[in-house]
């Protein structure tokens, strides 16, 4: 390439260095990529727990809460059924004072335990909502749902069978209603607990529920004691009549 000469204002010719085109520019050295790549560091596998862990004491509280619930609702069902037999007597069924006494004793023991545990366990869940996701809590909830559903299903089948056999009486209808009220209430409550597992219910709702449970227990206890007094008085009269009858028969034989 020939050098080009440019005249300046002073008349001197100065050489201008040739401009290299990009194609003629010398190649720039690019750093070579390293052939060896460092292996990616793998994090150690971490175990994820889908359920919150609960202490053994908390699990024990849940278990005895469900046991006390079973005895409490069982006593309510037994006493209410006895009330129906007392107010709507059936000649084919004898009203036994022994069964009434046993149901009253069960109510007196189980009701305070259940109310106390109901408040205590729900207070724990309000303070630590993650415990509602514990495996033991979920298992017990679903056990209650399954058991109550089976009871409702069996009683419904029994009601249809009784109606088809033309043996449906007012006593059976009221007993069926008692079963549906108790089992249906339990099923609805625990289904609601399962549905709002991720939500935090205020403690005021549980306190209001415990007050309602206590009022039901007290009203049932007062009614059962009243019925017991009437049944006991009736049994005493029957026994007196029976003794006087035996005495009169004995005197006639002599």
What pLDDT is recorded for position 100? 87
Report d(CA 76, CA 82) in Å as an integer: 10
Write down the pLDDT at residue 92. 53
Radius of gyration of the chain (CA): 42
Are 213 and 118 spatial neighbours (Cβ–Cβ below 8 Å)? yes
Whether 69 contacts 114, CB under 8 Å: yes
Specify whether the CB–CB gap between 77 and 175 falls below 8 A.
Answer: no
Alpha-carbon distance of 80 to 99, in angstroms, equals 12
- Judge whether 228 and 97 are in contact, CB under 8 Å: yes
Whose tokens are 């009614």? That residue is 223
pLDDT score recorded for residue 198: 63
Sort residue 22 into left (φ over 0), alpha (ψ -120 to 50) or beta.
alpha
Q: pTM of the entire structure? A: 0.69
pLDDT reported for residue 169 = 86
pLDDT for residue 97: 73
**14 sits in which H/E element:** strand 13-16
Domain map of the chain by residue range? 56-248
| First-to-final CA distance of the chain | 163
* Predicted local distance difference test score (pLDDT) of residue 12: 47
> Could you read off the pLDDT of 55-106 as tens digits, one per residue?
788 889 889 999 999 999 999 999 999 898 888 887 655 566 778 899 999 9
The DSSP call for residue 9 is T
C-alpha distances in Å from residue 82, one per residue of 101, 177, 180, 220: 11, 14, 16, 11
Low-confidence ranges of the chain (pLDDT < 50): 1-17, 19-23, 29-41, 44-49
């Amino acid at each position: 390439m020939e050098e080009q000469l440019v005249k300046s204002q002073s008349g001197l010719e100065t050489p201008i260095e040739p401009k290299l085109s990009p194609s003629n520019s010398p190649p720039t050295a690019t750093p070579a990529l390293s052939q060896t790549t460092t292996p990616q560091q793998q994090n150690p596998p971490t175990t994820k727990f889908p359920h919150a862990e609960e202490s053994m004491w908390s699990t024990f509280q849940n278990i005895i809460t469900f046991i006390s619930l079973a005895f409490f609702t069982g006593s309510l069902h037994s006493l209410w059924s006895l009330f129906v037999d007392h107010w709507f007597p059936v000649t084919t069924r004898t009203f036994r004072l022994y069964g009434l006494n046993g149901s009253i004793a069960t109510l007196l023991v189980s009701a305070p335990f259940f109310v106390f545990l109901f408040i205590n366990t729900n207070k724990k869940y309000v303070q630590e909502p993650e415990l509602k996701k514990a495996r033991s809590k979920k298992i017990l909830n679903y056990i209650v749902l399954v058991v109550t559903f089976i009871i409702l299903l069996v009683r419904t089948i029994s009601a249809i069978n009784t109606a088809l056999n033309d043996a449906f009486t007012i006593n059976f209808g009221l007993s069926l209603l008692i079963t549906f009220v108790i089992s249906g209430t339990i099923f609805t409550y625990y289904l609601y607990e399962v549905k709002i597992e991720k939500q935090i219910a205020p403690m005021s709702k549980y306190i209001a529920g415990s007050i309602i449970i206590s009022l039901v227990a007290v009203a049932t206890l007062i009614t059962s004691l009243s019925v017991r007094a009437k049944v006991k008085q009736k049994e005493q009269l029957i026994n007196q009549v029976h003794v006087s009858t035996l005495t009169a028969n004995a005197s006639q034989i002599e």
